[in-house]
Structure 1
Amino acid sequence: MSISAESLRFDEDSMWVELSDGRTLGVPLAWFPRLLNASPSQRQAFEISRAGLHWEELDEDISIEGLLAGRGDQTKRRSEAA
């Protein structure tokens, strides 16, 4: 069985993802700097797919698999990776 996102909502500090298996994940926006720094309207401009969550304008993709594993933003700047 593949777990997917059913719906998504935000509060001031968190992103809440309703999953197809009935669970709800609460994830701190601090895990995803693009979402943290986005306007409320930019956060609401998401698409849900089988793979996860996508924000075209923000160039942000979040996999459900990654959320379930507890992973935040995996983007590393060169200076951080060195």
Structure 2
Amino acid sequence: MNTTTTESESCALRAWAEGRMIFLELADGRIIGFPADRFRILKAASEEELKKVTVEVNGFALRWEELDEDLTVEGVVAGRFQLPLPEVAA
């Protein structure tokens, strides 16, 4: 079992928000993004509140202190979101 590869792939170097999207730069060089609206607390947050994201726990967690919200980087990378994608009108 090789946990080192999984851990380094799910380790964030930095995080930032642009509009309602949250972006992560991972240790392996990838940059991924996800819509804030896929999480209950983040969906209710303003864009200014979203910008206050910090990387915590040696790169394994995202934190919004003002919102008292924490997400694991591993969960985000794996696509484990609380809310479904919004339906698109046909």
* TM-score bracket relative to the smaller structure: 0.7 to 0.9
Distance 1:45 1:11, change over 3 A: closer
How many residue pairs align between the two structures?
Answer: 74
Large movers: runs of 4+ above 6 Å: none
State the percentage of identical aligned residues. Answer: 34
1:15-26 to 2 correspondences below 5 Å: 15-26=22-33
Instruction: Answer 1 or 2: which has greater helix percent.
Output: 2
Per the TM alignment, residue 33 of structure 1 is displaced from its structure 2 partner at its CA by 2.6
Scaled by the length of structure 1, the TM-score of the pair is 0.73
For residue 87 of structure 2, what is the aligned residue in structure 1? Answer: none
Scaled by the length of structure 2, the TM-score of the pair is 0.68
Return the alpha-carbon distance in structure 2 between the equivalents of residues 5 and 73 of structure 1.
20
Larger relative contact order, structure 1 or 2 (CA cutoff 8 Å, min sep 6) = 2
For residue 21 of structure 2, what is the aligned residue in structure 1? Answer: 14
